[in-house]
Chains A and B, each alone.
Chain A
Amino acid sequence: MSIATTNSPFNEAQIQLLNQLLPSLDIYQKAWLAGYISATPQADITSNVETKKVTVLYASQTGNSQQLAETLGERLRQANVETTVVSTAKFKTNQLKKLTNLIVIASTHGEGEPPDNAIPFYEFLHSSRAPKLSHLNYAVLALGDSSYEFFCKTGADFDQQLEKLGAKRLISRVDCDVAYEEDAARFIDDIIEQVAQVNVPTIQSNATVNEASVYTKSQPFYAEVVDKFVLNGRGSSKHTMHIELSLEGANLTYEPGDSVGILSKNNAALVEQVAAALTFTDEKPENLQQQLVTKEITQLTKPLFEKLKNYSKNEAFLALAWQDYHYGRDLLDVLTTYGPFEWTSEQFLALLRDLPPRLYSIASSQLANEESVHLTISKVAYETDGRERLGVCSGQIAEQIEVGDQLPIYIHHNPNFSLPKDETPIIMIGAGTGVAPFRSFIEERAERQQTSDAWLFFGDQHFVTDFLYQTDWQQWLEDGALTDISLAFSRDQSTKIYVQHRLAEQAEKVYEWLQRGAIIYVCGDKDAMAKDVEQTLLTIIKEQGACTDEEANAYLTELRQNNRYQRDVY
């Protein structure tokens, strides 16, 4: 095959020379030349060749941004664009000045926070140390969840800050909601069009399709529920379910730390009530109900709340502030309290986003359960204004799903929460259902017969009823798959004891493990636990390491960058 401008980075003149030279070389000469070129410093090569270069930087918590970044990188390479795909955790900020094209893909968490491993980069970019970037072209793809107040804030912050530093926007930022696939695909197409000079059609080769299973949220696997029981003993105020799903025939693979996405449906009674609260003449109630089953109606997101106002003349509603109202309430509350609204069924349905899948950390190891996956799901149920409300998915599983039923699922890989293959010590901190991934970790270790240091901190309300997977931990401690355990039962004594208190009690040992390179994992409630745990870790580092607040922060930042402080919080 001869070299042409269409299949190489060379210009016409270079191609002529190459096509003259290459056919005349023998095998030995070709090998020597290949070695010579690869050993020559790259700068020398690139300075002579004009190549379009793009860096795709992703800030990912659960792996979605990373996956999109890799897709974009692949597409760019296919379009002959030299592309580097890198995590904000690994990215060296001193490289910023050298970049020409930067695509940022970033997700937002909780109250508008960047993913854990993006915090150092985020802070750098917003600090006075950030360089002028007038040479840089950029674009931002933002991922988020519109049920939170600060929707896509991290992406928006990057967008504004890059502009402020003088960089030139290639295309407008795209903000994606939980159902991000379509918007993200559009963004990727636009980038390709903008960046790639040579418009190579997307290769649709079967060879690129992984042998592994391809079930996705749009094409889920229907997994049979093969077991379901409540983990809390009688008398508990909790309702934590253990469910086991069959993966038979799915050819799905998962790693400890991965999640399962479940595509659930709204509670039929709730859908009925919502439909009843609406009086459309242009749509039959049964059609409406059918559509509502997969629309988000239990979360009153800020965008939805504001859009609803466009169809209302109710003064009280128009004057109502979202932050004063939304907590614990849903669409039905607005419809029944502030209706009627003036709209068509089409307008109404357009306001609602599709029900996003619910992600649950996997609680089993595939080494031990080749064709099944275990989940630990806490039933969400509470009462507001005298009406009981159920979590969409947990409520469905608790009240409607029985053994033998099927659930549409897919595997959501989470490379940012993973078990080391080597003997690195691990410290796992989880409260309530946050213990789920650690069950998969330890079960995996038990299968590997690994007995290196592994320390679990677990907390819940009561020892007798809420010690989730108690007999498993007892067995694994005996086997050595788990080597240490610290327990915090908050309501077994007059003062509340939580995991962070146990962590603080063990400060010396925790620090000693850290000094030996331990990885810390935190899983569970973001507000109730993860913040306090982080504060406790900082205190431990400060006190045990006899250092300042800044140094302790830097220590933790370094842990983060080295993937030694991994969080899966929600």
Chain B
Amino acid sequence: MEKIILPTQPGTPSDVEDIKQESNYLRGTLEKTMQNPLSSGIPEADNRLMKFHGSYLQDDRDLRNERQRQKLEPAYQFMVRVRTPGGTATPEQWLVMDEMGDKYGNGSLKLTTRQAFQVHGILKWNVKKYMQEIHEVLLDCIAACGDVNRNVMCNVNPNQSDFHQEVYEWSAKLSEHLLPKTRAYHELWLDGEKVFDGQQTEEVEPIYGALYLPRKFKIGIAIPPSNDVDVFSQDIGLIAVIENNELIGFNVAVGGGMGMTHGDTATYPQLGRLIGFIYKEQLLETAEKILTIQRDYGNRSVRKNARFKYTIDARGLEWFKDELAKRLSFTLEKSRPYLFTRTGDEYGWIQGEDGNWHHTLFIQNGRIKDEDDYLLKTGLREIAKVHTGLFRLTPNQNLLIADVTPAKKEQIDQLLKHYAITDGAQYSALRRNAIACVSLPTCGLAMAEAERYLPSLITKIDEILAEHNLSQTEIGIRMSGCPNGCSRAAMGEIGFIGKGPGKYNLYLGGDFTGQRLNKLYKENIDEAEILATLQPLLAHYAKERQKDEHFGDFVIRQGYVEAVTDGQHFHH
């Protein structure tokens, strides 16, 4: 194995590059600082490394000022994100995640927009115990965050069960193949045997090298007609190509990504661009080679310009194709046709081709907790105790109870009824197609509320919808507390990105099937103005929409906003 030598770049490497460089493959001083009893926090450098271990330090921002006054440090706590490729968990794993939420976390579980579990509120002294206990059921947090390939997403709809299983298996293989190989995780959290200084050589990371990637890297696999994974928002978007009910290979899109910085037009959300078709056996090689191009050419000086999309846009797609061709042992074929019809989930029971049943539940914002009048967490626990199939976390933060045998269906159904666990049927189609990121109080980047606010905003928009007979018209609405875009708000038909407390930018014109970005319509507005803005638009839509015309298409046809199909035009 040759030593990885990165091409030289202009500019000084960012502080995070230095931290990685000095970390001895992600160890840093974590062993020591995680034990320091004086603070429940850790230094910034170690927190950067902690991300590669699937966790990072946050604090309860609701309490920040109050505690400072009380001469207490911030209410530090760790968020731990569990890697579940394709969002798949066994009932046994579900039960452990459920228990961990109570035992070490804040009593709730969050299903993320990348099909992972997140638990918030874990105290420093419990992080290791948490890692060890989830390890018992073969779950880990490796690379759930950090400058590496993240949790690999995969379509969850298994009604075409023959090839769905195969596609899922490819997502798991991809996740495995691109996982960092350092032993640091095992040493730090699982009391694995230590690799002594000097023994750790370049070979430990044959794909990444000692500096890993310049920035996070995301891969998702869609199975048309569902684009639930938002395949064009991924660094590598893969579209499964099925012919004669058999998985042949994948169309490959590159350079999608959501994040941007307010006020910096050099940063923008971008859609992935199709570069061709590969056969399924070529998947691992293709993904690895694409990733190494980003490893070698991604900007390691300015982190906000370090995502793969900027690497490609700065040099042009043709350059990228040439570079990839040099690295691949084969030639890409021409993209195959595909058709997407939606990004949202379809709720309720469906029967797969093999006779097994699958039930998609509506989980508001992916938050699983018990409320006084809605024992969602308890109900799902009871279901997990009897369920013999799998749980699948959807990219829309919902939950699929998958592979229920016909014999078990009645029992699961009874439990669902007993706990009144909803498939969302009683809600507006808007609410059923909503996504919000976590945001306040735990996310350090948040500028405005998201998860805690969107439900009440939807209640108010629902009134307008009801007025215009649109309650059951499907409109995708997404809210992010900051422009980094965990909820992929820049692709929503209605998108909100937080600007400040109670203030949002309103974006319109995203595509219901996830193939277009939205565009800024109103800047920095509060709730009253949001409602005043949407009211006439929705009235207009109700009155003059064409048959089956989605709201995002309507606002473009009517000239409210221009269509954005290339992120480089997002701001202009």
Contacts and interface: CB of A to CB of B under 8 A. Distances in A.
Interface of A: 229-234, 242, 463-465, 467-474, 477, 485, 487, 492
Interface in B19-45: 37-40
Contact of A464 (B37, B69, B75): B75
Contacts of B70: 229-233
B71 A233 contact: no
B71 A234 contact: no
29 contacts: A230-B70, A231-B70, A231-B71, A231-B72, A232-B70, A233-B63, A233-B67, A233-B70, A233-B72, A234-B63, A242-B71, A463-B40, A463-B123, A464-B40, A464-B75, A464-B123, A465-B72, A467-B72, A468-B71, A470-B71, A470-B72, A470-B73, A471-B72, A471-B73, A473-B38, A474-B73, A487-B37, A487-B38, A492-B125
A132 B235 CA distance: 97
B66 interface: yes
B66 A234 contact: yes
Contacts of B67: 233
- Closest CB pairs A-B (n = 9): A471-B71, A469-B71, A470-B72, A487-B37, A233-B72, A231-B70, A470-B73, A233-B67, A471-B73
A427 B71 CA distance: 23
Contacts of B125: 492
Interface string B57-77: 000000100111111110100
Nearest to A468: B71
A464 B73 CA distance: 9
Given A230-B70, A485-B38, 17 more contacts: A229-B70, A231-B72, A233-B63, A233-B70, A234-B63, A463-B123, A464-B75, A467-B72, A469-B71, A470-B72, A470-B73, A471-B68, A471-B72, A473-B38, A474-B73, A487-B37, A487-B38
Contacts of B69: 229
A468 B71 CA distance: 7
A469 B72 CA distance: 6
A233 B38 contact: no
Nearest to A439: B71
B462 to A, nearest CB: 34
Nearest to A489: B37
Contacts of A229: 69-70
Contacts of B72: 231, 233, 465, 467, 470-471
Contacts of B73: 470-471, 474
Contacts of B71: 231, 242, 468-472
A497 to B, nearest CB: 11
Interface of B: 37-40, 63, 66-73, 75, 123, 125
Contacts of A465: 72
B77 to A, nearest CB: 9
A473 to B, nearest CB: 7
A233 B64 CA distance: 11
Chain B interface mostly: loop
B103 to A, nearest CB: 12
Contacts of B123: 463-464
A469 B66 CA distance: 14
A487 B40 CA distance: 13
A127 B157 CA distance: 89
Contacts of B38: 473-474, 477, 485, 487
Contacts of A492: 125
Nearest to A485: B38
A468 B73 CA distance: 10
Contacts of A468: 71
B217 to A, nearest CB: 35
B67 to A, nearest CB: 6
Contacts of B68: 471
Given A464-B123, A492-B125, A233 B39 contact: no
Contacts of B37: 463, 487
Nearest to A493: B125
A114 B43 CA distance: 49
Nearest to A465: B72
A512 to B, nearest CB: 21
A543 B82 CA distance: 48
A472 B69 CA distance: 12
A242 to B, nearest CB: 7
Contacts of B63: 233-234
A19 B37 CA distance: 76
Nearest to A487: B37
Nearest to B123: A464
A468 B123 CA distance: 18
Nearest to B124: A463
B69 to A, nearest CB: 6
Contacts of A233: 63, 66-67, 70, 72, 75
A487 B125 CA distance: 14
A469 B73 CA distance: 9
A474 B75 contact: no
Nearest to A242: B71
A469 B75 CA distance: 14
A8 B160 CA distance: 118
Q: Which of A229, A232, A464 has the most CB of B within 10 A?
A: A464
Contacts of B66: 233-234
Contacts of A242: 71
A231 B73 CA distance: 11
B121 to A, nearest CB: 10
A233 B71 CA distance: 9
B64 to A, nearest CB: 11
A463 B77 CA distance: 12
A296 to B, nearest CB: 33
